[in-house]
Amino acid sequence: MFYNRNKLGLALLSCLSVQQIQMALAFSVFPAQKNMCRYVPTVQDEDVDIELPDFDKLFQTIREVSPLASLAMNCETGGFEVADKNYPPSLKWKNVESKKGATVHRIEKVENYNGSKFPVVRFRSSLEGPCLGSKMVEYIMKLEERAQWDPQIDDLSEIYTAKDVKEVQSIVGDDYGKCAMFGVGYTKTKRYLVVDGREQLTLCGLQEFPTGASIIWGVEMETRNDHMFPEGSRSTRAKTLLYTTTLVPTGDNTFDAEYCLQLDTGGNLPSFLTTPIMIDSVKTLFSQAKKDFEDEEGIKKWMEENLKVDDKTEVADTEEELRNEKLGLLMTP
């Protein structure tokens, strides 16, 4: 007996729900098959390695949603004005909020990006202060900083950090800046409004560029890496389908920041209920960042403590290594 493969495929698809089809066709920056994966060792456990994404696919996706990221990757300057001129959108962005002079002066979204039922949302802010990606990272990775803007946060913990970012860099290549941080973080949230507690396992990194620009990024680990979760009972899994924040200097003491997030909150809640909560939280993040970056004494103290090697203590050979040792990497958005 012979079968028409196309008809058979359609018959099988007809037996699946829309959600199951979307999951089957879900976009991922990780290799589809485990035998195609590449890994790097971790600081914490010699028996546990970090699976690497397809970096070309990852950064091309970041380029698609963030003109400012394209500007950074091409080592150009000029901020949003130049980014929008040089890199016109290929996606249909819908305006959510636009307020000239506001800390977050523009919010846009693209529905069903890469086949997901959750939108990718883009936030734009222009801030005063030094352009420091390693400082911006703290609003995502440090519990005390995260708690100031994220009412859902319950726990942040560093799970695994790449043993050698230079090895990661050798795989990333030279087209996407210099790898300054790379690792896996665990995030646990508590119930807030309509959303119950969730947990995430996210791979994140920080890329730095000669212009002073930085790109922070994060993507959820594949389920084949669930062995990385800490011991204990599991909560509903949320997934960061895509996260990126790009910082580009626009002057001696000013910079533009573009924050993009596509978050699958898990469970059965529709995105029209969860997206407004996420938007309010990110706006609070930038309000806190504005306050901190404009505090000249405070930011100066932070730079002295985090960006200089103490000659009396043999803790690092470079500023990047010092930041890694002091901060680790926990950046699940």
* Per-residue pLDDT tens over the stretch 211-239: 999 999 999 999 999 999 999 889 999 99
Instruction: For residue 333, tell me if it sits in a domain.
Output: no
Instruction: For residue 299, tell me if it sits in a domain.
Output: yes
**CB proximity list for 48: less than 8 A, separation 6 or greater:** 42, 160, 227, 228
Q: Where are the alpha helices (DSSP H) in the chain?
A: 5-14, 18-24, 55-65, 67-73, 79-86, 133-136, 138-141, 143-146, 165-172, 271-294, 296-306, 319-327
- Single pTM value for the model: 0.86
Residues of the domain holding 276: 31-327
What average pLDDT is seen over the chain? 87
| pLDDT score for 311 | 33
Instruction: For residue 4, tell me if it sits in a domain.
Output: no
pLDDT at 306 over 80: yes
CATH number at residue 63: 3.30.530.20
| pLDDT score for 333 | 52
Tens-place pLDDT, residues 185-200: 999 999 877 778 899 9
Phi and psi, residue 44, nearest 5° = -75, -35
Residue 63 is given by DSSP the state H
Q: Report how many domains make up the chain.
A: 1
What value does the mean pLDDT take over residues 154-163? 91
Distance CA 281, CA 288 (A): 11
Instruction: For residue 5, tell me if it sits in a domain.
Output: no
Instruction: For residue 87, tell me if it sits in a domain.
Output: yes
Half-sphere exposure of 312 (CA within 13 A, CB side): 0
Distance CA 184, CA 186 (A): 7
Instruction: For residue 1, tell me if it sits in a domain.
Output: no
Instruction: For residue 212, tell me if it sits in a domain.
Output: yes
Task: Specify the range with the lowest mean pLDDT, choosing from 12-26, 230-244, 293-307.
Answer: 12-26
In angstroms, what is the C-alpha Rg of the chain? Answer: 20
Reference 107, options 120, 98, 116; nearest CA is: 98
Instruction: For residue 19, tell me if it sits in a domain.
Output: no
